[in-house]
Amino acid sequence: MAPQVETKVCNYLYAIVAHSQGCGRYGPIGIDGGEVYSLPDGQLAAVVSDVPNARLRPVRQHMAAHHAVHKCLMQEGALLPMSFGVIAEGPDAVRRILTLNRDAFVEQLRHVENKVEMSLVVKYDIPNIFEYFVRTHPELKAYRDQLFGGGRQPSEDDKIELGRLFDRILRDDRAELTQQVVEVLAPLCAAIKENPPRGESGVMNLACLIARDGQERFEHGILEAAGRFDDNFSFDYSGPWPPYNFVEVSLQM
């Protein structure tokens, strides 16, 4: 008979919360239906569940459980959401993480207390972005016509230069349009982070940290900002979310 291999139980970390906030147990909502509970240490608590090993694949069901726990915790108050895949080898290792990172955790919790994250994505709502820019930017139209006018066949270098000009104008427009929106939203936000736009049609991708009770004011701000744009743009906002973009802790383990 082959010898049985003992399975070592580890702790999967979902988030850090204030000790006073944690309820102790949250139910079987964790990875693979694991019971989610808090491990307190001083003024902090780590929210964890037990997992049978120190590695997990980032499959859809695991990611969904990870974010479901964050959503549950967000209803209670401030949290520092951990990125997917942080696993400690038992409660002692969890408490070591809390000890080593205590000052950073406390500072970050204070930063996001009574706040939530909202996201805003603005895109060009047009069938052909290059042709739109040719129509709206005389510099790009003149260079395009110079290269392709009179049946001329431009060289590869010419095409590259045209592409570079388009990219520069696209970047400049994105920056200018983003500034217009930020000017409207800044008074409504504790912080705004500009993430890279999504794809060529993306104009801006903003993460906004707002007061937990400030969602209605933020939505009015979105409507005000959108009113400055024409029908060639689409505005899509979502949330509230945990403050994923506003927690910056270099985790010591």
Judge whether 203 and 116 are in contact, CB under 8 Å.
no
- List of residues 6+ apart from 101 with CB closer than 8 A: 249, 251, 252
- Please count the other Cβ atoms lying within 10 Å of the Cβ belonging to residue 10: 21
Residue 103 tokens, joined: 């000052």
Neighbours of 112 (CB within 10 A): 22
What confidence score (pLDDT) does residue 253 get? 67
DSSP secondary structure string for all residues of 1-48: -PPPPPPPPEEEEEEEEETTT--SEEES-SGGGPPEEEEEETTEEEEE
Domain residue limits, the chain:
10-113, 116-244
Q: 235 with 122: CB under 8 angstroms?
A: yes
39, 48 in Cβ contact below 8 A? yes
Per-residue pLDDT tens, the chain, 253 aa: give them.
444 445 578 999 999 999 887 568 899 999 999 999 999 998 899 999 999 876 788 899 999 999 999 999 999 889 999 999 899 999 999 999 999 999 999 999 999 999 999 999 999 999 999 999 999 999 999 998 888 877 778 788 888 999 999 999 999 999 999 999 999 999 999 999 999 998 999 999 999 999 999 999 999 999 999 999 999 999 999 999 999 999 987 776 6
d(CA 136, CA 15): 47
Residue 201 is inside which H or E element, if any?
Answer: none
pTM over 0.75: yes
Query: At the topology level of CATH, where does 116-244 sit?
Result: Alpha-Beta Plaits (3.30.70)
